[in-house]
Structures are given as structure tokens and as C-alpha cells.
Amino acid sequence: MEKIVFVCLGNICRSPMAEFVMKDLVEKAGNESKFLIESRATSSWEHGNPIHSGTQTKLKEQKIAFDLHKGSQKISSEDFYEFDKIIAMDESNLENLRKMAPEGTRQKIAMLLEQGVPDPWFTGDFQETYQLVKTGCQRLLDEIV
């Protein structure tokens, strides 16, 4: 089983979007039993808060199922051992993850896309975020299967 965790700053916009986009792609490919897909934050600023309404709206528009009760959760030391791939949304997330990573786990950390995915919390552009997340998730899935 391939275990993937997507990580952004607050775990309310980009990483949950990537989590549910990837789950949708995996399900459509008939591979859901081969994957464990989750998302986390690098900070605890949004701890327990639900997925941002902009992300929810975009997922609904695309008819992608998501967990309405999912709350923001910060990545833990255990997560670095639990997951096979730890996928950062931008350079700042990547840098923070590398600092947080226990010895011997840094090789699991990578960017979703080389150029990163801008944070719609700041840009307000959930459409751009969705397009980049979908592209990155499809590439990641293609690499794995």
C-alpha cells in the first residue's frame, strides 16, 4: 500500500484539496485499496478548523467527494515514519518539513509541482489552485502506478 500525505501551511486549503483530488483520481482508476491518502499542516494555526469554504466550493463544483468534518491537523513525528511520500505544496512547506523531519525520513519529502502551488488563502484564486493540484496529483499517480 502506498501511503501519501499532502502538506501545506494550515491544512485547510491546498493540502485537503490535494487529498480529495488524489482520492478521486485513485478511485476512478480503481486503485483505492492500494493507497492511503491524507493531509496535514506544517503549523498549528488552524488546528481543528474545517476545510476552507473556497476549497469546499471548488471540490463540489468538480463533483469530488470530501469529508465535511475533516479538521486541520499538524504533521507529527510519527507521520514522517508512517507515510511513504510527504508532498509539500510550496518551497516554504518543503523547507519547514525538512527542518521537522526526523533523521532518515527526509528522502520521503518532495514538492507536488516544481513551481509550487500558490496559497489561495492569500491569492483568493481557488480555480488556479485546483488546476495545479489536479495536474500535480495526476503526475504523482502516473509515477506510482
**pLDDT tens figures, 68-78:** 999 999 999 99
Topology of the domain comprising 2-144: Rossmann fold (3.40.50)
Instruction: Find the radius of gyration of the CA atoms of the chain.
Output: 14
> Residue 113: helix, strand or coil by DSSP?
coil
State residue 82's pLDDT score.
98
Helix axes 126-144, 53-61, angle to 10 degrees: 60
Domain boundaries, given as residue ranges, for the chain? 2-144
> Residue 8: helix, strand or coil by DSSP?
strand
Q: What is the pLDDT of residues 124-141, one digit of tens each?
A: 999 999 999 999 999 999
Give the phi and the psi of residue 75 in degrees, each rounded to 5: -65, 140
State residue 138's pLDDT score.
99
48/46 Cα distance (integer angstroms): 6
Supply the residues annotated as catalytic.
8, 14, 119
91 is written with which cell numbers?
Answer: 518551497
